[in-house]
Amino acid sequence: MNKAMKNNLGIILFLTPALVIFFVFFVYPVFFVASTSLVRWDGITDITFVGVNNYISLFKDGTFIKSVTNNLKWSMSGGFIHVPMAMFVALLLSSKPKGWKILRTIYFFPNIISIIALSMMWMAMYNNEYGAVNALLRAVGLEHLQRNWLGDLHTAFPALIAYWIFYIGYFMVIILAEISTIPESYYEAASIDGANRIQQTIYITLPMLKGIMGTCITLSMVSGLKQFEQVFIMTNGGPANRTTLLALYLYKQMINYRYGLANAAGVMLLTFGVIVIFTIKKIFSTNKIEQVG
């Protein structure tokens, strides 16, 4: 009795800090964002309830719509180009060619460097006058393709996506580890039945990767929704709002003291997150938060 009571006290004592922090930084903010998305709040005049007016303003705002479609493109590129590419490279590396560990290490580099530093680096790469991209085009005789990549209406957004989409290290490492957990005996049995490597990949490896692919696509798409730094540093949403994203839109509303509108955008951001999670979960039905051990 006494001992059990002591344990209960310990449990409460040990859980309280985590729960308090979680409520202050996750639960309360989500409710805060949701409830204040229904008010007019500029930091000066009184807060007034305006119902769904903020949402109506959002959907009438071309910049917001552009942010949503851009975010959609960004997330889709992440989930359906970036992750499959990572899977493909993981499949190649799973045959353990010479130096695969070094390749794995180097592919992971961009995930260690801050997005801010990477953005500055790619701004230099894309620079009109001395950037490496234009210099590279000159070097291979494609002078006519040179342009101000981030200033051009047509290339600014693709250029932003192009820079991270080939940085496959993060998901490659996760998928590669999953491949290594597939029992060797499956492949042995298949090769006795006469299946070659490609057939083994299609009929054994790929089906076994369904769960992890769902997870990776979800992670990639949700992180696509969060993106801010690249556009903030490299284009600030321009030219002509071509590269605006939801988080940037939210930020711009906030620093202009349109808190209600900012939070309505925040709610949309959270909603898209939930939609992504449930859609992908449905498609890759095995995906759930797994517990280690």
Partner 1 sequence: MNVELKGIGNSSKSAISMRHMTKKRLLGKIAGKTVMWCILLFFLFYTLFPMIWLVISSFKTNVELFDNPFSLPKVWQFQNYKNAFQVSGLAVLFRNSIVISLCATAFNLFVASMAGFVLARQRFKLREAIFVLLISGILIPVNALMVPYYKIITQIKLYDSIFALILTYGAMGLPISVFLVRGFMKTIPWELEESATIDGCNFYQRFFKIILPLSKTGLITAGTFQFLLSWNEFIYAMLLTSSTSSRTIQLGIRYFSNQFTTDYTSMYAAIVISIIPSLTGYVLFQEQIISGLTSGAVKG
- Tell me which residues in 197-236 interact with partner 1 (CB under 8 A): 212, 215, 218-219, 222, 225-226, 228-229, 233
Q: x/- site string to partner 1, residues 26 to 45, per CB under 8 A?
A: x-xxx-xx--x---------
CB of 60 to partner 1, least distance (A): 21
Stretch that binds partner 1, among 48-56, 58-66, 104-112, 151-159 (CB under 8 A): 104-112
For partner 1, the closer CB: 91 or 156: 91
Q: Which long-range contacts (CB under 8 A, 24 or more apart) does 162-165 make?
A: 163/118, 163/122, 163/125, 163/230, 164/82, 164/110, 164/118, 164/230, 165/77, 165/78, 165/81, 165/82, 165/85
For the record, the structure tokens of 125 come out as 């790469």
Single residue of 94, 170, 217, 235 touching partner 1 by CB under 8 A: 170
Stretch that binds partner 1, among 16-24, 58-66, 149-157, 186-194 (CB under 8 A): 16-24
Single residue of 1, 44, 192, 289 touching partner 1 by CB under 8 A: 289
Q: Is 278 in the site for partner 1 (CB under 8 A)?
A: no
Burial 8-18 (b: 16+ CB within 10 A, else e): eeeeeeeeeee
Burial class, 293, CB count within 10 angstroms (exposed 0-12 / middle 13-18 / buried 19+): exposed
Q: Count residues contacting partner 1 (CB under 8 A)? A: 93
Question: Distance of CA 101 to CAs 46, 83, 131, 169, 216, Å?
Answer: 60, 20, 31, 12, 21
3-state secondary structure of 49: strand
Q: Is 121 in the site for partner 1 (CB under 8 A)?
A: yes
Q: Which amino acid is at 257?
A: Y
For the record, the structure tokens of 17 come out as 């800090």
Single residue of 78, 79, 169, 237 touching partner 1 by CB under 8 A: 169
Interactions with partner 1, residue window 123-152 (CB under 8 A)? 124-125, 129-132, 134-135, 139
Single residue of 48, 105, 256, 285 touching partner 1 by CB under 8 A: 105
Q: Is 55 in the site for partner 1 (CB under 8 A)?
A: no
